[in-house]
A = this chain, B = another copy of it.
Amino acid sequence: MADELGMDLFGEIDPPQRLLMGPGPVNAHPRVLRAMSADLLGQFDPEMTGYMNQVMALYRPIFGTHNRWTMLIDGTARAAIEASLVSLVVPGDRVLVVNFGRFGLLLTEILGRIGALVETVDAPWGETVPLDAIAAAIERFAPKVVATVHGDTSTTMAQPLEGLGALCRAAGALSYVDATATLGGMEIAADRWGIDVVTGGLQKCLGGPSGSAPITLSDAAAAHIFARRHVEQGIRRADITDGAGPRIGSNYFDLAMIMDYWSEKRLNHHTEATSMLYGARECARVALGEGLDARFARHAAAGRAMTAGLRAMGLRVFGDDAHRMTNVTGVYIPDGVDGERVRTAMRDQFEIEIGTAFGPLQGRIWRLGAMGYNAMKHKVFITLGALEVCLRCEGFAVSAGGGVEAAIAAWDA
C-alpha cells in the first residue's frame, strides 16, 4: 500500500553555487562540510563522549570564558535562546529586555510565552541602548534576569556589553546574551563582561550550517538551573537527585538534564545530533586555527571595506557608525530603485544573495553580510562590483569601479 502512493524521487542534491552575502546563513567552510560526512558513533561510545568533551574545550575560548558548562543545544540558534530563557526564568519572574531590534523583540516574545513579567529598555532601530539607561531600568524594575542581544542583524547594530554583568550582579540579577550573529566574528567576552549565559549559532561568523547552537553558562547560572532539576521518569537514577525549585517548563530545553547529559553522569536525554556536533567541532577548529584576534580583524576589515564601498557608490549606510556590527551592513535602497528587482538581478546575473529587511526597515534597506568563510576580500569586492552593475541597470547613476576601489583601499586601512 505504501508504494501505491509512489512518486517522483526528484534528483540528486545539487544546489547552485550561490555566494551568500546576506545577514546569514552564509556559505559553510568546506572543512566543516567534510567533517560532517564522518561516520556516526553511538551516543555513549567513549569516542563520542570524547568528542563531546573536545567540543566543550574548543568553545570556551570562542565564548571568552572558562565556564565548565560550555556545550551545544541540538537545534537552531533560536533553540538555544529558548533553552536559556525557559531554564533561567520561573513564570512570574521579572525580566528586563534590552531591546534594539527584531531579536530583542524575539526575547520578549519567548519570555511572554514562558510567563515572565517583561519590561524593555529600548533604542530606536539603528541605535543601541546606553549603559546608564540599562542601569536605570535595572534600578527601577529590579529584574531577576536581564536579557539582550549582542549583534542584532535586523538593525546591524552591536550592543556594547562591557560593564553589563557587573550591573546585573550588583542587582542580584542573572544575565543572558544572544550572540548568534557575532560569535566567532566579533569578540565575545563572557567572563570579562560577566554575562551568565551566552548562546550562538554556527550559520553566521562560524561558517557552518544552522542546526547546532553553542551555549555557555556560568557556575551561578548552572547552580540556579540545577536547583530546578527534575529528571524524567523512566531514566531516574540514584546518583542524580531533583532540585527543590520549580520544574523547568520544557523537557527538550531543560538545561539541567542537558548539562547532566554533557557531564560525566551521561544522563540519557536526547540523542546528540552527531553530524552537527562534528560540524560544530570543525567550525571551532577552523576559528581557533586562524586565531581569534586575526579572525576578528578580518571581519572588521570586511565590514570597513563594505561600508566604504557602499558610500563611494553614493549610497547611504544605515544606522549608528559607532556601534556597527562588523559582519553585516545595512544600506538604504535609493529612491526610485526597486529593492527586490535588484536582489533578483544579483541572484540571477551573479549568483549572489544579499538580504532584505524586517519590520520598519522592510523595503527601505538591504543588508549585506560578509562573515565566516565569506568575510574575504574577493567576495566583498565581487559583491560591490555586481551591485554597482545592478544599480546602473535600474537607472541609478554609479560611476564604474568606484565602490570596489574604495573598498580595496579600506580593507587595509
Any B CB within 8 A of the CB of A316: no
Q: What per-residue 1/0 map shows which CB atoms of A1-36 lie under 8 Å from chain B?
A: 111011111101111111010101111100001111
Q: Is the CB of A293 within 8 A of B2?
A: yes
Majority SS at the chain A contact face: loop
Query: Is the pair A285, B42 in contact by a Cβ cutoff of 8 Å?
Result: no
CB nearest to A38 among chain B residues: B13
Closest Cβ of chain B to A252, distance in Å, is: 5
Binds B, one of A73-81, A325-333, A379-387: A73-81
Contact, CB under 8 Å: B20 / A78: no
**Chain B nearest CB, measured from A242 CB (Å):** 13
A265 lies within 8 A of chain B by Cβ = no
A105 close to B (CB within 8 Å) = yes
A250 touches B251 (CB 8 A): no
A41-61 vs B, CB cutoff 8 Å, 1 = contact: the mask equals 111010110010010011011
**A13 neighbours in B (Cβ, 8 Å):** 35, 38, 51, 278, 281-282
Contact, CB under 8 Å: B2 / A234: no
Cα–Cα distance between A196 and B387 once the two chains are bound (Å): 48
Stretch at the interface among A126-134, A137-145, A267-275, A306-314: A267-275
CB pair B76 A234 closer than 8 Å: no
Cβ-based interface call for A154 (8 A): yes
Copies of chain A in the complex: 2
Chain B, Cβ-Cβ closest to A254: B113
Q: Using a CB-CB cutoff of 8 Å, which residues 243-295 of chain A contact chain B?
A: 247-253, 268-276, 278-279, 281-282, 285, 288-289, 291-293
A101: chain B residues within 8 A (beta carbon): 234
Q: Are A275 and B40 in contact (CB under 8 A)?
A: no
Instruction: Say yes or no for A109: interface residue by CB 8 A criterion.
Output: yes
In contact, B61 and A285 (Cβ under 8 angstroms): no
- Cβ distance A98 to chain B, nearest Cβ, rounded Å: 15
Closest CB in chain B relative to A230 CB, distance in Å: 9
Contact B353 A45 (CB under 8 A): yes
Q: In whole angstroms, what is the CA distance A247 to B102 when docked?
A: 20
Q: For A16, A54, A275, A353, which residue has the most chain B Cβ atoms within 10 angstroms?
A: A275
Question: Within 8 Å CB of A28, what residues of B?
Answer: 39-40, 275
> In whole angstroms, what is the CA distance A271 to B213 when docked?
12
- Do A235 and B102 touch across chains, with their CB atoms under 8 A apart? yes
Instruction: Say yes or no: is A336 at the interface (Cβ < 8 Å to chain B).
Output: no
| A209 B252 Cβ-Cβ under 8 A | no
Task: Contact check, B61 vs A247: say whether CB atoms are below 8 A apart.
Answer: no
What residues of B have a CB within 8 angstroms of the CB of A79 in the complex?
74-75, 79, 252, 270
Which residue of B has the minimal Cβ distance to A9? B285
Q: Which residues from 131 to 164 on chain A have a C-beta closer than 8 Å to any C-beta of chain B?
A: 154
Verify if A399 is at the interface (C-beta below 8 Å from B).
no
